[in-house]
């Protein structure tokens, strides 16, 4: 009998850009059931979630493949709702498909938050090193450097969209981080792929940590 996990994206499901990579790590014996915080919402409602000055900015993907920015304060209640639906439906493990920072959620099972898993993995191996960060948009650079700056005085965040011309953007970002002499690169968005991680490693010739890879490996370790 297959084990089941739930996923919650802050955008719309299905996440055809994410789930194949996650499934390849989890293996064939774990079924994935998806949900999205923006599922079923009109473009007008989604547009009303756009961040304003001072908001914590998140970037996600819609079902049509386009990307959108949303403010954390707007999306958090809907994320909580989707997490709760998985747990009340009998799913014991839920993977949040976002590396953003959120308040604590009340849960009825195991909730895997990639931001916490990724942050602690980097803290374990790279504290004080020259840490390069890929983040989806220019609006996220400052908040990204603030977050990761607690681990090292040497942090450089570079915007690189995982949704628009992703490989070209990643190549340019990796070249910049190589020039800066990054000792490790953190791909700080669930949207970055295994292929992007491989490209960044090749260009920088240094280790790189992929958010979806670290998070999926945690699920595999827990129930695989």
Residues 122/130, Cβ–Cβ less than 8 Å: no
Q: Is the pLDDT of residue 1 over 80?
A: no
- Predicted pLDDT of residue 106: 80
Could you say which DSSP state residue 190 is in? T
pLDDT tens-digit map of 100-126: 999 998 888 999 999 999 999 999 999
Q: What is the mean pLDDT of residues 197-217?
A: 98
CA-CA distances (angstroms) from residue 154 to 16, 100, 180, 182? 35, 21, 10, 9
Assign 203 a pLDDT band (cuts: 50, 70, 90).
very high
Q: For the whole model, what pTM was predicted?
A: 0.94
For residue range 31-82, what is the model confidence (pLDDT) as tens digits? 999 999 999 999 999 999 999 999 999 999 999 999 999 999 999 999 999 9
**Domains annotated on the chain, with CATH:** 3-113+213-223 (no CATH), 116-210 (3.40.50.1860)
Q: Is 152 exposed, middle or buried (0-12, 13-18, 19+ CB in 10 A)?
A: middle
Residue 5 confidence (pLDDT) above 80: yes
Reported as a pLDDT band with limits 50, 70 and 90, residue 204 is very high
Considering the chain, what percentage of its residues have pLDDT values greater than 70? 100
Q: How many CB atoms lie within 10 A of CB 15?
A: 23
Mean pLDDT in residue range 162-168? 97
Q: What is the pLDDT of residue 105?
A: 87
**pLDDT 10s digits, 125-158:** 999 999 999 999 999 999 999 999 999 999 999 9
Average per-residue pLDDT for the chain: 97
How many whole angstroms separate alpha carbon 162 and alpha carbon 145? 18
171 contacts 141 by C-beta, under 8 angstroms: no
Residue 117, C-beta contacts closer than 8 angstroms, at least 6 positions apart:
214, 215, 218
């Amino acid at each position: 009998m297959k084990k089941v996990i739930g996923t919650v994206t802050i955008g719309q499901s299905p996440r055809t850009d994410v789930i194949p990579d996650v499934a390849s790590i989890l293996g064939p014996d774990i079924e994935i059931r998806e949900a999205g915080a923006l599922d079923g919402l009109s473009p007008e409602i989604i547009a009303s979630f756009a961040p304003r000055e001072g908001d914590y900015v998140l970037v996600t993907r819609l079902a049509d493949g386009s990307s959108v920015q949303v403010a954390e304060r707007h999306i958090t209640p809907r994320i909580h709702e989707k997490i709760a639906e998985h747990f009340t439906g009998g799913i014991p493990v839920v993977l949040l498909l976002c590396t953003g920072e959120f308040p604590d959620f009340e849960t009825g099972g195991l909730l895997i938050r990639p931001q916490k898993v990724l942050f602690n993995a980097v803290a374990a191996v790279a504290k004080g090193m020259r840490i390069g960060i890929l983040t989806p948009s220019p609006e996220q650079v400052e908040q990204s450097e603030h977050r990761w700056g607690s681990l090292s005085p040497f942090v450089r965040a570079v915007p690189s969209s995982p949704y628009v011309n992703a490989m070209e953007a990643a190549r340019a970002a990796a070249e910049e981080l190589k020039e800066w002499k990054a000792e490790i690169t953190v791909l700080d968005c669930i949207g970055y792929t295994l292929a992007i991680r491989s490209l960044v490693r090749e260009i920088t010739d240094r280790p790189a940590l992929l958010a979806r890879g670290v998070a999926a490996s945690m699920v595999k370790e827990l129930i695989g």
